[in-house]
Structure 1
Amino acid sequence: MTSVTAATSAPAIARYVQGKIAIALQDTRVVLLAGPRQAGKTTLARLYASPDRPYLTLDDPATLAAARSDPTGFVRGLKQAVIDEVQRAPDLLLAIKESVDNDQAPGRFLLTGSTNLMAMPRVADSLAGRLEVITLLPFAQAELAGTPGNLLDRLFDGAGLPGVVNPMVGDDLMACVLQGGYPEALRRTSASRRQAWLQDYVALILDRDVRDIANIDQLDRMPRLLDVLAAHAGQLVNHSSYGAALGLTTPTAQKYVGILERLFLLRQVPPWSSNAVSRLTKTPKLHFLDTGLLAALRDTTASQLQKDRTGYGPLLENFVVSEVLKLITWSDKRVRISHFRTKEQDEVDLVLEDRRGRVIGIEVKASATVRPQDLRGLRQLQAAVGNKFVHGLVLHDHDRITPFDEKLHAAPVSMLWQG
């Protein structure tokens, strides 16, 4: 796999959100680079450190103790700084707010965080108007391949689909899905070594980072909960079912899932709604943000899937969702994601809507063949949206584009990073 080879020289791989960071530091007082641990935030943030902008990490015990014991004193005297893993001392953000209110120069603080700090109302309110959040997820396939990764921009701008170049299909696509995008995992050339690293990674997150952001009475349930969620990836969220499997109440299960989402391990994709379509499902869908991690939790290997592909569909759908979320992180367009599902179970896995209300629909199929009935959900979405419908895609394990009408096509999954 070329992506594994490329990842062994990770520092040379361009991160496509880097341009956004540079621009934000020119006009915004505080910039937060948020994403899961080991996604590459520290490597990227260090590029902006200098004698005038010192690098401080709260993973260092002495630095963390100083930040927690006297947040105001910690920030006092810092004209500029890069502060890594800021979620470990939340009170530091209030001290930063006071500092940047007194000195409103842009680019004062570049922060990194391994949790979604904006889910904390106190933080969101205090830094409103002073902070720009930029998300960094594990490597996207476009970054690994060095391709533009601008398919969504092309479609919203009316440029249409690019031509197919070196499509990734079959076993190569499956291997790509199973390895995921964590830089450290990609440095390991065997699947068993990658899975071992990912399992250790999860254990570290659940043991340390959960404690940093929440008081959990039943922390021992979190690994089991994550296993239950992995088994339900790609399905509608059902907190009562998750809770019942672990002896947790529904509100507790919902709270714990929310914590895992804040740690960028998974994402609940909300349902799309419209008055034009009645009988729509109003339940979110559950997805993991890295399919290597999902495969490790499910203990899924390529040899197993080659013998029995029934488990491949959810993995491929999660893979497409995660790749689309990565495309959005560096796009200039503000894109809202949701899913479309009727009570009759006609569905579209991803609905992408820009601020003008224009819509792209993406359905994922693990098979090489797309049948007309596979487009039923996309056609219903197209009818509901009308002239705001930009394009509908069925992404599947194939090497060619198949037109169904002017705005509906089946295309290779690898189109996501070739565009």
Structure 2
Amino acid sequence: MPDTATPDPGPFQHGYVRRVVDDTLDALLPALPAVYLDGPKAVGKTATALQRARTVRRLDRARERAVAEADPELALDGESPVLLDEWHRVPELWDAVKAAADDGMTPGRFLLTGSAPAAATHSGAGRITAIRMRPLTLPERGASRPTVSLASLLAGEKPPIRGATELDLAQYTEQILTSGFPGFQHLTGRALRAQLDGYLARVIDADMEEAGLRVRRPATVRAWLRAYAAATSTTASSDRIRDAASAGQDAKPAKTTTIRYVDVLTRLRILDDLEAWVPSRNHLHRLTQGPKHHLADPALAARLVGASRADLLDGSGTDLLPRDGTFLGALFESLATLSVRVFAESAGASVGHLRTQDGRHEVDLIVERDDRRVIAFEVKLAGTVDDKDVRHLHWLREQIGDDLLDSVVLSTGPTAYRRPDGIAVVPLGLLGP
């Protein structure tokens, strides 16, 4: 059915809507000399930085960029905090900020936004603190009201698990397809698809070259990126992804070529792989070290493989790569991964995944505190949770004992509760920071 209704412009068209990352900025900016908001294009870095900046240098504007190129030191002048927006367009500014930090500048002096540093850019470690921004979680979109706090779980409080949500499978599917980019929140139907297509085209046709990789055959990059999207929430090898990208063709891109794709698209934050958890103080052995594949937003993955709402709800979506479960299940896990990463960043925790080499045991998400104690999450595209769904969580408890603070199943069900075995069952929409 064609889209005939005029969409509600939504809260993101009426002014700034506070993000989870704002809490992190409130805590860190007054104490640190330079903070770098790092994330993919359109994730809202500039809008968030503008809430705090007193001096703004918009380096995507030719006149301001020319001044900064002629005299980087002049661009650093002004009332604090000084925002260097799209700083990567004048790479010399990175070193200028580092030098100012070495000279003992006051806390809260600089905010930087833009793409990740190019490979040749020196690290800002110790001077410039990076904060990762990701697309909107469900609570940030206004799609749900969380009742379960990840920070409370990490505190080891075993908080009461309660609450209810009206989000169902169809609505979670809509949230996946809508995307978490703030500027896309008011779009539906054909307009949304066009915006996602334009975003991907810009990445391939312009952003990759700006990041240092000349793209001679955009169609080859798109085919490879489509195969990568089909591998969402899997640990598929680079060879399997290359084979899928060139199915039915005599030639496939060289491995050295696709390695460069991964490098550049990771620096552009389009690829957002989840690294394997490496335990440091227990007796777990023989764990795989490969990452789980994710794009910055599961909507990009769905659009790349051409998966519609009907396809996903029918259990189809893509046949590029064989997988256990449906593609909708993979996208739901990717949405859950995005959310848990955002909430964990706010709590100062890290996130990984666990899989044994023989594949017998797998835990979708491991959230780790500084003291190495963890919370384990399984993600289930189901409204109910049974004993089979929690067997890997019980196995992990047997392996690491008290280092496991809590265990959670993230589901599509309506109600949050604790099972008799102590495992929390939480609808994804009810999880918050």
**TM-score, with normalisation over the residues of structure 1?**
0.87
Which of 196, 199, 210 is the aligned partner of 1:198? 196
Residues 369-415 of structure 1: CA deviation (Å, up to 9, x unaligned):
33322222212222222111111122222113454444323332222
Q: Residue 359 of structure 2 aligns to which amino acid in structure 1?
A: E
The partner residue of 1:211 within 193, 197, 209 is 209
Aligned residue for 1:109? 110
Distance 1:60 1:159, change over 3 A: same
Alignment of 1:375-390 (within 5 A): 375-390=390-405
CA–CA distance in structure 1, aligned partners of residues 427 and 103 of structure 2: 53
Equivalent residue for 1:291, pick from 291, 298, 302? 298
Q: Aligned partners of 1:78 and 1:100: how far apart in 2?
A: 16
Q: C-alpha deviations, 1:77-99, integer Å up to 9, x for none?
A: 45642111112222221122223
Return the match for 1:353 from 368, 372, 397. 368
Partner of 1:231: 230
Say which of 12, 20, 27 aligns to 2:24.
Answer: 20
Q: How does 1:231-380 map to 2 (within 5 A)?
A: 231-244=230-243, 245-246=245-246, 247-274=252-279, 276-308=283-315, 310-331=326-347, 333-380=348-395
CA, structure 1 residues 344+205, in 2 after alignment: closer, same or farther (shift >3 Å)? closer
Per the TM alignment, residue 63 of structure 1 is displaced from its structure 2 partner at its CA by 2.7
- The 1-side partners of 2:424 and 2:52 are apart by 42
Once residues 202 and 304 of structure 2 are traced to their aligned partners in structure 1, the CA distance between those partners, rounded to angstroms, is: 14
Mapped partners of 2:77, 2:411: distance in 1: 55
Give the letter aligned to residue 272 of structure 1: W
Distance 1:10 1:210, change over 3 A: farther
Moved over 6 A (4+): none
C-alpha distance in structure 2 between counterparts of 1:74 and 1:224, whole Å = 44
1:57 aligns with 2:54: no
- 2:322 — aligned with what? none
Mapped contact 1:75–1:99 kept (Cα < 8 A): no
CA contact (8 A) 1:179 1:191 kept: no
How many residue pairs end up in the alignment?
406
Encode CA deviations 1:271-319: one digit per residue, 9 max, x unaligned: 2244623342222110123122222212222222233353211111111
Deviation at 1:131? 1.6
User: How well do the aligned residues superpose, as a CA RMSD in angstroms?
Assistant: 2.7
**Distance in 1 (alpha carbons) for counterparts of 2:10 and 2:147:** 17
Structure 2 segments unaligned to the other structure (5+ residues): 1-6, 247-251, 317-325
Structure 1 or 2: more helix by fraction: 1
CA contact (8 A) 2:35 2:110 kept: yes
SS in 1 for 2:407: strand
| Secondary structure in 2 matching 1:201 | helix
Q: Kindly provide the CA deviation profile for residues 117-169 of structure 1, in whole angstroms up to 9, marking residues without a partner as x.
A: 3x747431xx3322222222222222223846862111112142431132422
Q: Which moved more, 1:387-396 or 1:269-278?
A: 269-278
Q: Aligned partners of 1:377, 1:327: CA distance in 2, in Å?
A: 23
- Is the partner of 2:405 in helix, strand or coil? strand
> CA, structure 1 residues 382+251, in 2 after alignment: closer, same or farther (shift >3 Å)?
farther
After TM superposition, give the deviation of residue 180 of structure 1 in Å. 1.9
Which amino acid in the other structure matches residue 239 of structure 1?
S
Length-normalised TM-score, structure 2: 0.85
Aligned-partner residue type, residue 63 of structure 1: E
Contact (CA 8 Å) 1:30, 1:110: kept in 2 or not? yes
Residues 273 and 57 of structure 1: CA distance in aligned 2, closer, same or farther (over 3 Å): same
Greater alpha carbon shift after TM alignment, 227-236 vs 321-330: 321-330
Do 2:229 and 2:304's aligned partners in 1 also have CA atoms closer than 8 Å? yes
Could you tell me how far 1:321 is from its partner in structure 2?
A: 0.4
Partner of 1:72: 72
1:204 alignment partner AA: R
Q: Label 1:254 to 1:380 Cα distance change in 2 as closer, same or farther (>3 A).
A: farther
CA distance in 2, matches of 1:209, 1:343: 39
* CA displacement 1:302-349 (0-9 Å, x = unmatched): 222233353211111111001111212322x33243333451342111
Identity of aligned residues (%): 25
Moved more, 40-49 or 246-255: 246-255
Name the SS of the counterpart of 1:288 in structure 2. coil
Q: Does 1:416 align with 2:431?
A: yes
CA contact (8 A) 1:352 1:360 kept: yes
Question: In the alignment, what sits opposite 2:90?
Answer: 89
Unmatched 5+ residue regions in structure 1?
none
Distance 1:12 1:390 in 2: 36
Query: Match of 1:350, SS?
Result: strand
For the 8 Å contact 1:75–1:95, the answer to whether it is kept is no
AA matched with 2:186: R
Q: Is the CA contact 2:234–2:293 (under 8 Å) kept in the aligned structure 1?
A: yes
CA distance 1:58–1:344, shift in 2 (3 Å): same
2:40 counterpart residue number: 36
In structure 2, C-alpha distance between the alignment counterparts of 1:199 and 1:318, rounded to whole Å? 20
Q: Do 1:243 and 1:252's aligned partners in 2 also have CA atoms closer than 8 Å?
A: no
Counterpart Cα distance in 2 of 1:192 and 1:298 = 16
